[in-house]
Amino acid sequence: MSEHNLLLDAASNELEVIEFYLTEIMEDGTEYSSYYGMNVAKVLEIIRLPETITSVPGNHHPAALGTFNLRDRVLPLVDLGLWLGKKQKEQTDRKVIVSEFSDVVTAFIVSGVTNIHRISWAQVEPPGKYLQALSHSSITGVVRFGERIVFLLDMEMIIASMNPSLSMESQIKSLTQEKTTTGAGYKVLVADDSSSIRKVLVHVLEQGGYQVTAVASGSEAWGMLEKWKATAKNENKGIKDYLDIVVSDIEMPEMDGHTLTKKIKGDPELRGIPVVLFSSLISDVVRQQGLKAGADDQVSKPDLPGLSLRIKKLIDGGGAAQE
């Protein structure tokens, strides 16, 4: 994928989705294909299924098939269908999506790749509770292309389930052993479409003494901000009586983090509120998009210690700590 194709204007509220499918064998022997998608910004390339796969000794998730060599680089290979509980149809023309996010490169086996779509986040519907339960919270959004439904997968959660060291949950113990009150009295608005990440962020920040409001999308966050603005006006107070900082993911249904950031920084009453983008997508290119949108700082998931430090620095008036 070229860098040109990955770049979208900051705060355009658009993304490019690569659509792929998994063909499974049902109990009655028939075949059924389900369609999924992931952000093109996470995709390095698409290749054929490698002929040689090296198994790795030890106890691993069944979907972690082993490793293969790609241009002198050893990559882990994951059977995405198996992780989702599907008996994927064996076929020689299956594809492998090589992805990178949170500074981790992983390859996923899929049945095939269909298309790349440029869409608005407004087209992405949040998954319902039933779908979340059915998918073990692995789906972050739903997109409809005509009669076909495409499910956007939480790739970070899938990777973390097979490599606990990459999960934010693994950092909670060390962060909460030393309970502090450094954030006492400060109010944080968290926007992230992953329910598991929201729970982790709320837990860690509350342990630090912060008062946390958590929502599942940029549009929900903007709704809260509008509500606080109205309340502040009615009560003749400033917005900082209700909020000190915003922590936002980038990829979210309805409104992404870049668009949310630009709206905040373009509002005369809200522009003084610091915004930290917390995302697995942070790269040199995406960092420039965040700067263009007006973000005060950007932190790569799953760096919770770094996020905690930067939140405190921004609230205390230390300015951005962007790398």
Domains, in order of start, for the chain = 3-162 (2.40.50.180), 168-315 (3.40.50.2300)
Find where tokens 């198994």 sit.
55
Size of the chain in residues:
323
Q: Angle at CA 36, nearest 5°, toward 35 and 40? A: 135
Q: Angle at CA 17, nearest 5°, toward 13 and 40? A: 95
Q: Is 25 exposed, middle or buried (0-12, 13-18, 19+ CB in 10 A)?
A: middle
| pLDDT tens per residue across span 209-225 | 899 999 999 999 999 99
pTM for the full predicted model: 0.81
Residues in Cβ contact with 267 at an 8 Å cutoff, skipping those fewer than 6 apart: 225, 229
Question: Over its length of 323 residues, how does the chain's per-residue pLDDT go in tens digits?
Answer: 444 344 456 567 888 999 999 999 888 889 999 999 999 989 999 999 999 999 888 767 889 999 999 999 999 999 999 999 888 888 889 999 999 987 889 999 999 999 999 999 999 998 888 887 777 778 989 999 988 999 999 888 888 888 766 566 655 655 555 555 566 779 999 999 888 888 889 988 988 889 999 999 999 999 999 999 999 999 999 999 999 999 999 999 999 999 999 999 999 999 999 999 999 888 888 889 999 999 999 998 888 888 888 898 999 885 554 44
For 199-234, letters b (16+ CB in 10 Å) and e give ebbbbbbebbebebbbbbbbbbbbebbeebbeebee
| pLDDT tens per residue across span 109-163 | 999 999 999 999 999 998 888 887 777 778 989 999 988 999 999 888 888 888 7
Q: Which alpha helices (H) appear in the chain, and where do they start and end?
A: 3-6, 80-83, 129-134, 155-162, 169-176, 195-207, 218-234, 257-265, 284-293, 304-315
